[in-house]
Structure 1
Amino acid sequence: MKEQPIPTLFEWAGGMPVFEKLTDHFYEKVLSDPLLEPVFKHMSKEHQLHVAHFIAEVFGGPEMYSSEEGSHFKMIQKHLAKHLTEQHRQRWVALLLETADEINLPDDPEFRSAFVAYIEWGTRIAVLNSNIENLEMNPDEPMPKWGWGVPGGPYLG
């Protein structure tokens, strides 16, 4: 019997339509949230799509963000001097996880562990970078790649 390859987080989640749905619904919440709305009220109409493509690529999806919309360096630059706080970060994470539940993103422990780990890691970096004026980073820094981590794959039990 041939062993099945372990799917990427992108594949396990359901592909690009799921990530686009996640960010569409999430940013609706953001724009009605008293803490986050002032930070995001001037975002472009494409912002949530770019975020969907970025996260999807990090999770093993197609290289749409890095080949068509930006780079890891450019994503980090967008956060410079925004002066995000830990309260902003916590609210952003809470709303994203709430949205993930509402759209039925996979809720198995292995996927959610990897998903939450990336969201925690990425948002903490965003806060750090939002409180500096200049970015000392290689502009060719590759996109982060996130996998299953310690569990090593989905629970198929």
Structure 2
Amino acid sequence: METNKQVPSLYEWAGGMPVFEKLMVAFYDKVLKDDLLEPIFRHMSPTHQVHVAHFFAEVFGGPKIYSSNEGSHAAMVTKHLGRHLTEEHRKRWVQLLVATADELELPADPEFRSAFVAYVEWGTRIAVINSQDPNLTMNPHEPMPKWGWGEPGGPYQP
């Protein structure tokens, strides 16, 4: 007999907003102790961690707190403009975030981790590309990325 079971979003599977908020607070604590990343983030706002948590949560299928109250996809992109992030910065950011996810025991099943790491890799690579141009123009109504259990599809085209 076939059951009609709905697949949870990545947000639901991870454990909801408390998990994303805890993840980003613990992660940015590491960032501020890291010799390579601390100079980039030392002047971040006191609410930066929560905004990033809300952004990630929305991308992974959670509530639209970020896009409704805190910004837009275009606003997030502009935060990276002219920062000249390097591949070394990107790799360290990814390494610390994945290590924090492990420490906080986010789901470790291959499907979740594959989707989680795929988004982190994709997003950080876009951030590095965008950080090289201080004058990038972007559609202010660009929709938020949406990440699920499947493949993003197709090669990157700037």
TM bucket, shorter chain: over 0.9
Q: In structure 2, what is the Cα distance between the partners aligned to 1:136 and 1:75? A: 13
2:12 match: secondary structure: helix
Matched, 1:110 2:111: yes
For residue 37 of structure 1, what is the aligned residue in structure 2? 38
Q: In structure 1, what is the Cα distance between the partners aligned to 2:34 and 2:43? A: 14
1:4-26 Cα offsets, whole Å, 9 max, x none, are 10000000000000000000000
For residue 145 of structure 2, what is the aligned residue in structure 1? 144
Number of equivalent positions? 150
1:9-52 Cα offsets, whole Å, 9 max, x none, are 00000000000000000000000000000000000000000000
Q: In structure 2, what is the Cα distance between the partners aligned to 1:31 and 1:136? A: 30
Residue 2 (structure 1) shift:
3.4
For residue 46 of structure 1, what is the aligned residue in structure 2? 47
Tell me which amino acid in the other structure corresponds to 1:135. Answer: L
Residue 3 (structure 1) shift:
1.8
Q: In structure 2, what is the Cα distance between the partners aligned to 1:11 and 1:3? A: 18
Residue 134 (structure 1) shift:
1.1
Percentage of pairs with the same residue: 70
Residue 136 (structure 1) shift:
2.2
With normalisation by structure 2, the TM-score equals: 0.93
1:92-114 Cα offsets, whole Å, 9 max, x none, are 00000000000000000000000
Residue 137 (structure 1) shift:
1.6
Residue 135 (structure 1) shift:
1.8
Q: In structure 2, what is the Cα distance between the partners aligned to 1:2 and 1:88? A: 46
For residue 97 of structure 2, what is the aligned residue in structure 1? 96
For residue 76 of structure 2, what is the aligned residue in structure 1? 75
Q: In structure 2, what is the Cα distance between the partners aligned to 1:68 and 1:41? A: 24
Q: In structure 2, what is the Cα distance between the partners aligned to 1:117 and 1:17? A: 22
For residue 19 of structure 1, what is the aligned residue in structure 2? 20
Q: In structure 2, what is the Cα distance between the partners aligned to 1:145 and 1:112? A: 16
For residue 87 of structure 1, what is the aligned residue in structure 2? 88
Q: In structure 1, what is the Cα distance between the partners aligned to 2:134 and 2:20? A: 30
Q: Which 5+ residue runs of structure 2 have no aligned equivalent?
A: 152-158
Q: Which consecutive aligned stretches of 4+ in structure 1 deviate over 2 angstroms post-superposition? A: none
With normalisation by structure 1, the TM-score equals: 0.94
